[in-house]
Chain A
């Protein structure tokens, strides 16, 4: 071997950039969260402005926290640790900067589109198609940069943190692309190419694995680097790392359907989702075990070091939410928890505890190293820890209670066999005290965030005039050495468990990446192929017809306003559900729904059977001021719907796009605007005749009412003799 030694330096400037972005977007995301929490406690906090209503801002909150806060935190950690674990500078500084600025531009684009109602209506995939393309481009740049760095490494084997980074980068790309396939109809409007059951399946394949490969695996990677660093202890078990990595990556992918228990998704998919979630418990806990046992003998350090405290709570929160996940995925548990705040509590244990605290711990550890000055105040960091921990406890305790309370109220029958709480608003009112406690908990968490920001800012201010850039020297990459031979007489099983084959893979990052991608793809296809191919999954219902052009326009308004954030459209086959809402939802009912709008949370009532429940004028007044017709309603006002005019000219393009996606539109494909105008005039005339406003024939509220009055009606006309022509126009009673 030559004595040649390379000299090089690490790019820490990029890490500092990501660190600041993490803080800034984190604060923004948390503040938006606080605002929408206030809106649930008191609808006045919608401020009467359409851009600040819950339906518009909720996706901004989730996107900001997941992709802006957690995303930048991941990049901070990956850019810092990968260079050091691979003993090389990042592959390309230009790509690093493109990644940074591109990602921030995407976040800004999200903030500039979501409040204005540009959304695909798929959770955590709300951003419209041009932004989706930008995400794909930036992600590919990141991937090229990362894998280029792997290729230029000076360390033969790749450490477990890097396995998790690889899995994250590859899988997020796959998920993002296939869930966002859509047909653009306008610069910021598109329709998912999937419909109904299949769209729901793809969405939760994506949605669940966004949690897996954006909020879990990258953070496990960060944990594997920063925790042993901060504790100055070896990792507990290399074998556990191997087993929990592969089982996690393979099993996670299958679990998505557990978000759709008791919906119109077929039983087999739901069952697979549940069983794989249960099997996922220990693979998830492998990370927690490896993290906590790494601290063996270092607990005295935990007592005095806020960084380790943050990490211990993070890993514990991870353990709690990854126990809770499999538990919630059990169908019976899901039947209680689904649509309630229990799920909100679950994700906040994960986001505030695991993602947030790991990020804080990591940044407190990084700040002195990146800013080359001691941390401004350990005391403030301690204070941050205790305030934020208390904030989390308040938040989740309140929201767990809220979820279980509401779930139990929904399913309660009285002694006569009637629903004990038939009035939905009553079950919402019950949650108000808990919503205020949540606001208090969130405020504490944000207070901690501000203390954190101040501490980091003061540390930064103490930086040297110019950062010192240490020169690193390391020998170039050594050629792969042959695998040590198995001891004579070693059995197959022993050979397998000795994991020498894995050691070889670790020296071959390309092979490793291909194997990871294979695990993910095989698991995905095992569910996706049958979902799309088995016809019996979605028995057709002859009476289910496409929406009229006006109803389609109304449906797009429903999407624009984010109604699906609070209203489900999916009645589950459970007696208390059908007692409350009517007939349970059938798979065949949403075959023309691009995208599906089943929803995941019932802050307001289910709307699957809304059609014909109330007269049109009731809806007009309800949008104008929900509390004028439903005392105690917490819905925002939608006065702008009564002012803004329907874009009749734009309807043709939307109908054409739907027709292109296979929706049988008949003669509407040539005269959609006319048909829409006719129907709108009919509805408006009915409203005026009933004593309502006389000028609604071209107002958005009329289109939305047309859509709402259609919901759930098609199967009601089903048993009625042969096939009625089409229940298309009219809608109004």
Chain B
């Protein structure tokens, strides 16, 4: 801090306000210079600090790096699913997933609203667990079924498929009329207590 005897008042005064002729604070000036020097550095230094090749190049590198390191997606294991399709814990979590994400279109009881009735024998895109898995994960954009692959974790997808299968035959009041083709074998598989469907 400058001692007050270093302050030299300038000779002018504006409505009683005076000014000192103090020099610029050194630290202030040096930081200012440093921010100016940062400009060429930013342009010259490649990589994470500098401008590099731009945001798109960086993005593409990021995606490529991820793809190189990511494990290849494992195929959905229908047999493993069938083995636990009746697991009460799985069904309970499936109910939550269904009510949070699916009920808006398929109604809380699965009777159908915007989307088709899930309790009858008719299936538009197939009622085998593997087919439902495709419908849920990929979606059917043309008919307004979103893809849930990004929103639901694999475990949640399994849970919701199990829950949907468990709705079969519940025949809720005022359900939507059947759409698609009947597939009565579909629900037989998980109904079987033993694995191997």
| Interface residue ranges, A against B (CB under 8 Å) | 81, 84-85, 87, 155, 157, 159-160, 225, 228-229, 234-241, 243, 247, 262, 267, 270-271, 274-275, 278-279, 281-283, 285-286, 289, 293, 296-297, 326, 331-332, 416-419, 422-423, 573-575, 578-580, 584, 612-618, 621, 628-631, 690-692, 733
The digit string for B1-45, where 1 denotes a CB below 8 A from any CB of A, is 110100101101011111111111100110110011011001100
Whether the pair A614, B20 counts as a contact (CB closer than 8 A) is no
Contacts of B152 in A (CB 8 A): 422
Cβ of B51 within 8 Å of any chain A Cβ, yes or no, is: yes
Convert B65-104 into 0s and 1s, putting 1 for each residue whose CB lies closer than 8 angstroms to a CB of A: 0100011000000000000000000000000000010001
Given A289-B28, A579-B150, A618-B104: A239 and B12 interface contact (C-beta under 8 Å): no
Tell me which residues across on chain A come within 8 A of B141, comparing CB atoms.
612-613, 733
B93 to chain A, nearest CB (A): 15
A368 to B31, CA, bound (A): 41
Residue in chain B with minimal CB distance to A261:
B55
* Across-interface contacts of A84 in B (CB, < 8 A): 15
Kindly report which residue of chain B lies nearest to residue A630, judged by CB atoms.
Answer: B104
Is the CB–CB distance between B143 and A157 below 8 Å?
no
Distance (whole angstroms) from the CB of B67 to the closest CB of chain A: 10
Q: List 11 A-B contacts (CB under 8 A).
A: A234-B17, A237-B23, A240-B28, A274-B42, A278-B38, A281-B31, A573-B56, A573-B59, A575-B59, A614-B144, A630-B104
Residues in chain B near residue A247, CB distance under 8 A: 32
The reply to whether B114 and A615 form a contact with Cβ atoms under 8 Å apart is yes
Among B1, B22, B58, B176, point to the contact of A240 (Cβ < 8 A).
B22
Is B125 at the interface (CB under 8 A from chain A)? no
- Whether B142 sits at the interface, judged by CB under 8 Å, is yes
Q: A228-B17, A621-B104 in contact; A262/B28 too (CB < 8 A)?
A: no
The one of B43, B62, B146 in contact with A613, judged by C-beta atoms closer than 8 angstroms, is B146
Query: Within the assembled complex, what's the spacing in Å between the Cα atoms of A281 and B35?
Result: 8
Q: Known contacts being A278-B35, A283-B32, A690-B114, is A575 close to B105, with CB within 8 Å? A: no
Q: Are B28 and A235 in contact (CB under 8 A)?
A: no
Residue of A nearest to B99 (CB): A631
Sample of 20 more A-B contacts, CB < 8 Å, known A229-B17, A238-B19, A289-B28: A228-B17, A229-B15, A236-B20, A236-B22, A239-B22, A243-B24, A247-B32, A267-B55, A278-B38, A279-B32, A279-B35, A331-B55, A422-B150, A422-B151, A423-B151, A573-B55, A574-B59, A612-B141, A630-B104, A691-B176
- A418 and B59 in contact (CB under 8 A), knowing A237-B19, A240-B28, A733-B143? no
CB proximity of B149 to chain A, nearest CB, Å: 9
Size category of the B interface is 35 or more
Majority SS at the chain B contact face: mixed
List, in ascending order, chain B residues with CB within 8 A of A422's CB: 150-152
Query: Closest residue to B22 on the A side, CB-wise?
Result: A237
Q: Most chain-A CB neighbours within 10 Å: which of B14, B35, B100, B152?
A: B14
Q: Does B182 contact A (CB under 8 A)?
A: no
* Residues of chain B having any CB pair with chain A under 8 Å: 1-2, 4, 7, 9-10, 12, 14-25, 28-29, 31-32, 35-36, 38-39, 42-43, 48, 51, 54-56, 58-59, 62-63, 66, 70-71, 100, 104-105, 113-114, 141-144, 146, 150-153, 176
List, in ascending order, chain A residues with CB within 8 A of B20's CB: 234-238
Report chain B residues within 8 Å CB of A628: 104
Option from A85, A281, A423 in Cβ contact (under 8 Å) with B14 = A85
Give every chain A residue within 8 A of B176 (Cβ-Cβ).
691
Q: Please, which residues of chain A bring their CB within 8 A of the CB of B35?
A: 278-279, 281-282, 326
Q: Nearest chain-A residue to B113 (Cβ)?
A: A691
The answer to whether B23 touches A418 (Cβ under 8 A) is no
Given A235-B20, A630-B104, A297 and B114 contact (CB-CB distance below 8 Å):
no
Task: Name A's interface SS.
Answer: helix
- Docked Cα-Cα span, A319 to B143, in Å, equals 55
Q: How far is the CA of A473 from the CA of B23 in the complex (A)?
A: 35
Q: State whether A575 touches B63 (Cβ < 8 A).
A: yes
B16→A580 contact, CB < 8 A:
no
Q: Given A267-B55, A296-B1, A631-B100 in contact, is the A238-B10 Cβ separation under 8 Å?
A: yes
Does A584 lie within 8 Å of B17, measured CB to CB? no
Q: Which residues of A contact B150 (CB under 8 A)?
A: 418-419, 422, 579-580
Given the complex of chains A and B, what is the CA–CA distance between A87 and B15 in angstroms? 8
Q: What is the CB-to-nearest-CB distance from A191 to chain B, in angstroms, rounded to a whole number?
A: 29
Complex: A229 Cα to B43 Cα, angstroms: 45
Of A235, A282, A297, A614, the residue contacting B17 (CB under 8 A) is: A235
Q: Are A267 and B54 in contact (CB under 8 A)?
A: yes
Of all chain A residues, which has the CB nearest B139?
A613
Contacts of A691 in B (CB 8 A): 113-114, 176
Give the residue name and chain of the B residue nearest to A584 (CB).
B59
**Contact indicator B38/A575 (Cβ below 8 Å):** no
Cα–Cα, bound, A416→B31 (Å):
44
Interface centre among B2, B12, B17, B56 (most CB of A within 10 A): B17
Contact of B104 among A234, A612, A629 (CB under 8 A): A629
Residue of A nearest to B100 (CB): A631
Residues in A whose Cβ lies below 8 Å from that of B29 = 282
Q: Are A240 and B105 in contact (CB under 8 A)?
A: no
Q: Which residues of A contact B56 (CB under 8 A)?
A: 573
- When the two chains form their complex, are residues A238 and B21 in contact, meaning their CB atoms are under 8 A apart? yes
Residues of A within 8 Å of B31, CB to CB, are 281-282
Contact B14–A159 (Cβ < 8 Å)? yes
A579 to B147, CA, bound (A): 12
Partner of A575, one of B62, B100, B153: B62
| Set A240, A262, A690: member contacting B24, Cβ < 8 A | A240
With A240-B25, A286-B28 in contact, is A225–B151 under 8 Å at CB?
Answer: no
Complex: chain B residue closest to A580, CB-CB: B150
Complex contacts, B19 vs chain A, CB 8 Å: 160, 234-235, 237-238, 241
The one of B28, B100, B143, B144 in contact with A282, judged by C-beta atoms closer than 8 angstroms, is B28
Quote the shortest CB–CB distance from B18 to chain A (angstroms): 4
User: Which residues of A are found within 8 Å of B39, using beta-carbon distances?
Assistant: 275, 278-279
CA distance A417 to B153 in the complex (A): 11
A237 to B23, CA, bound (A): 7
User: In the complex, what residues of B have CB within 8 A of residue A419's CB?
Assistant: 150
Among all A-B residue pairs, the 4 with the closest Cβ atoms: A615-B144, A282-B32, A573-B59, A629-B104
For residue B58, which residue of chain A has the nearest CB?
A: A573
Nearest residue (CB) in B for A267 is B54
Distance in angstroms between the alpha carbons of A632 and B54 in the assembled complex: 38
| B162 CB, nearest partner CB in chain A, Å | 20
CB neighbours of A271 from chain B (8 A): 42-43, 51
Nearest Cβ on chain A to B48's Cβ, whole angstroms = 8
Least Cβ–Cβ distance between B148 and chain A, in angstroms: 9
Q: In the bound complex, what is the Cα–Cα distance between A286 and B1 (angstroms)?
A: 16
Q: Residues of A contacting B38 with CB < 8 Å?
A: 275, 278-279
By a CB distance below 8 angstroms, the chain A residues around B100 are 631
Given the complex, which residues of A lie within 8 Å of B54, measured CB to CB? 267
Pair B14/A239 contact, Cβ less than 8 Å = no
Q: Which residues from chain B contact A617 at a C-beta distance below 8 Å?
A: 114, 144
- CB neighbours (8 Å) of A270 from chain B are 55
Least Cβ–Cβ distance between A473 and chain B, in angstroms: 14
Contacts of B28 in A (CB 8 A): 240, 282, 285-286, 289
**A374–B158 Cα gap in the complex (Å)?**
75
- Looking at the assembled complex, report how far the CB atom of A197 sits from the nearest CB atom of chain B, in whole angstroms: 14
> Which chain B residues border A275 with CB–CB below 8 Å?
38-39, 42
Residues B55 and A262 in contact, CB atoms below 8 Å apart:
yes
Known: A279-B39, A614-B146. A239 touches B21 (CB 8 A): yes
CB–CB B143/A234 < 8 A: no
How far is B50's CA from A332's CA once the two chains are assembled, in angstroms?
11
Assess whether B22 is in contact with A733, with CB atoms less than 8 Å apart. Answer: no
Docked CA distance A574–B60 (Å): 9
Instruction: Enumerate chain A residues within 8 angstroms of B114, measured Cβ to Cβ.
Output: 615, 617-618, 621, 690-692
Residues of A within 8 A of B142 (CB): 733
B residues in contact with A81, CB < 8 Å? 15
Residues of chain A within 8 A (CB-CB) of B151 are 422-423
Q: How far is the CA of A618 from the CA of B102 in the complex (A)?
A: 12
